[in-house]
Structure 1
Amino acid sequence: MNFDFSDDQTSLRDAVRRFVDKEYSFDQRRQIVTAGGFSRAVWDGLAGLGLSALAVSDTHGGLGFGPVEAMVVMEELGRGLVMEPYAQAALVAPAVLSQAPDAVQADWLPRIASGDALVVLAHQERRARYQLNLCDTRATDGRLTGLKSLVPAGDQADAFIVPAQDAEGLALYLVTKDAEGLSLRPYALHDGSRAAELTLSHTPALRLVAADRGLEVLELAIDVAIAAQAAEAVGVMDRFVTLTADYLNTRNQFGVPIASFQALRHRMADVKMQLELARSMSYFATLKLNEPSAARRRALSQTKVQLGQSMRFVGQQCVQLHGGIGVTDEYVGSHYFKRLTVMEMQFGDSLHHLGEVSARMQDQAGVFV
């Protein structure tokens, strides 16, 4: 199988890398963290590159690109530790809104493509524990009541995609930020990014997807998010490994670089092996996004299990190979470690997805047939 990227995909990668190098240095990122963990200027810059239009169909003013282009972009954003919720707003939201009625698509998708509207998924609830079919938010006569947690950049978003139980089952709704009865409590996450608690009290909402397909579309949205996160994690780990290799080649002990020590070389070999395992599973997840639901869900859970193992191993080893400097706030490496730690817990942790993989294993070894 040919895993080479096309010229257009390579040009896209180079454009995103140049933007991140110029607009998202470590010092600039720290300023954004201090200011609250979200920069509208950075978001406008991403939109200016056309990235907000990446997954929107050309019918609605988008570029109509597919999962591979999204993977290319997410890897570069991961290398730069970009905190703005690009995957949520530019990949997940179009995936859901493309299933909405035509009038809703015509209203919102062009605004997403232009970067004028920031729409994020608000699905996580305290009792659900990653189970998408568990939802305490209720919809009655087009009004929602409930609480959603860990909404990315919640206080900066223009609208929210909210799963809620109505009389027919789990449906998906759109709630605008200025809707009556909506309140937000913003806070910072461990990696410096921004999130919020979203409280809805008889809040008017627009139904996007009815209950007959609500869970199916929500699962697709989460799978798109997992594939994007896998690519981002590869970018994060790739850059962290490079930083660690540079440090080992620079740090001297006994008059020689510590990269010459056999024990450390073996540890770096293990780190790079885990990185390549993660990269291969990221490719696997991306290529499986257009598969039927059962195959796609199993593949994305398998990806999340391997990414969880790789992120934990690479993060811990790279920090330890740096020594004390690896955990200081002034050093960029510690922030890569924080980002990997947060990602492992998002959209289902490793144990959750290990259970999902197990539940979806239908094949048996020949001896048991």
Structure 2
Amino acid sequence: MDFDFTEDQQSLRDAVQRWVEKAYTFERRTSIVNAGGFDRAAYSELAELGLTALTVSEEHGGMGFGSVDAMIVMEELGRGIVLEPLAQTLVATNVLSAFAAPAVQAQWLPRIASGEALVVLAQQEAASRYRVDVCQAQAKAQGGSHVVSGRKSIVAAGDQADAWLVSAQLDGAIALFLVEKDAAGTRAEGYITQDGSRAAEVQFSDSPATLITTEGVAALELAMDTGIAATGAYAVGAMEKTLAVTAEYMNQRKQFGVEIASFQALRHRVADMKMQLELGRSMSYFASLKMGEAPADRRRALSQAKVQIGRSMRFVGQEAVQLHGGIGVTDEYIVSHYFKSLTQLEMTFGDTLYHLGQVSDRMEDTAGVFG
């Protein structure tokens, strides 16, 4: 199998890398965190690079690229731990493209592609615990359309979004709806998360909604898998930068008159970090390549990937802090922010323990043999 990237893909990587290095510096990121954790101007810059249009079809003004191209982009954004939620844009794009009616696609996909509209997933509830088949929000038909009532938690950039993809019970089954931010009965309470990004609790009270699909569970499974692939690639970029910063520090920090990078025990720990990074990278590739598979195979593969990437994130982040010592947990030093980002990512779209359970369930179905 050929894992080399094409010239176009390498050019895409270079363009995003230049933007992160020059336009999204640590100082700018810090100012965005201090201002609330989301910057519409930075999101617009991603749109100007064409990243919000990445997986939107050409028919709707997008670039028509695939999951591998999205992986490349997310890796580079991860190196700069960019706060603006491009992963949510990829989720919305995939779900709308796969499940929405042509009229809804024509209304929203061009706006998402241009960066005019930010659409995010509002699925998680207090009782759902990562499960997509658990939903207490309710929807009902009203006046030829639908209304939604319920509360969604930890919605990425939820108070900054222009619309939400909302799961709700309709006639005894989970369906997926699109609710615009200006719809009656909506209220979003935003807050800063541990890694400096923004999220919200979103309340709906008989809020007018557009039905996307009555196959809500299937749509949510695609959303979760898209999110895992995107954030997994982002984590690889973050881990790579974390390792580089740690190695640089060890080559500068002296103890007993010599650089601590010369201590064999510490060199072994860095080698272990590198091994975990490469394990995570290989599973990120695996996840992206499996996005086009049948749903059952895709779901199994993405859970397998999330288990390894989650373990890698935890190991690399914790080792980086240990090797830095006390400075590794100070807000003034960059590695602490990578540690917080990796820690939060490990719990995004299902934590490692949850996906280990998913892998275990699927091993029972196949007697432990994967095709």
Residue matched to 1:232 = 234
Which runs of structure 2 are paired with 1:56-205 in the superposition (5 Å)?
Answer: 56-89=56-89, 91-98=90-97, 99-141=99-141, 142-205=146-209
Could you say what the CA RMSD is over the residues aligned between the two structures, in angstroms?
A: 1.0
Deviation at 1:96, TM superposition (A): 1.2
Deviation at 1:300, TM superposition (A): 0.5
Residue matched to 2:248 = 246
Identity of aligned residues (%): 62
Aligned length: 363
2:358 to 345, 356, 362: 356
Instruction: Say which SS state the counterpart of residue 206 (structure 2) adopts.
Output: strand
In structure 2, C-alpha distance between the alignment counterparts of 1:49 and 1:308, rounded to whole Å: 29
* Unaligned segments of structure 2, at least 5 residues: none
Residue matched to 1:339 = 341
In structure 2, C-alpha distance between the alignment counterparts of 1:203 and 1:335, rounded to whole Å: 37
Deviation at 1:363, TM superposition (A): 3.4
Residue matched to 1:13 = 13
Residue identity matched to 2:83: M
Deviations 1:290-314 (A, max 9, x none): 0111111011111111111111111
* Unaligned segments of structure 1, at least 5 residues: none
In structure 2, C-alpha distance between the alignment counterparts of 1:342 and 1:364, rounded to whole Å: 33
Residue identity matched to 1:359: D
Large movers: runs of 4+ above 6 Å: none
Deviation at 1:217, TM superposition (A): 1.4
Residue identity matched to 1:189: T
In structure 2, C-alpha distance between the alignment counterparts of 1:45 and 1:111, rounded to whole Å: 15
2:265 to 263, 266, 272: 263
Residue matched to 2:38 = 38
Deviation at 1:168, TM superposition (A): 4.9
Residue identity matched to 2:207: T
Deviation at 1:204, TM superposition (A): 0.7
Deviations 1:221-259 (A, max 9, x none): 110000001100000000000000001111112222111
Instruction: Say which SS state the counterpart of residue 174 (structure 1) adopts.
Output: strand
In structure 2, C-alpha distance between the alignment counterparts of 1:264 and 1:250, rounded to whole Å: 14
Deviation at 1:140, TM superposition (A): 1.1
In structure 1, C-alpha distance between the alignment counterparts of 2:11 and 2:140, rounded to whole Å: 48
Q: Say if 1:239 and 1:139 are closer, same or farther in 2 by CA, change over 3 A.
A: same
In structure 2, C-alpha distance between the alignment counterparts of 1:151 and 1:117, rounded to whole Å: 16
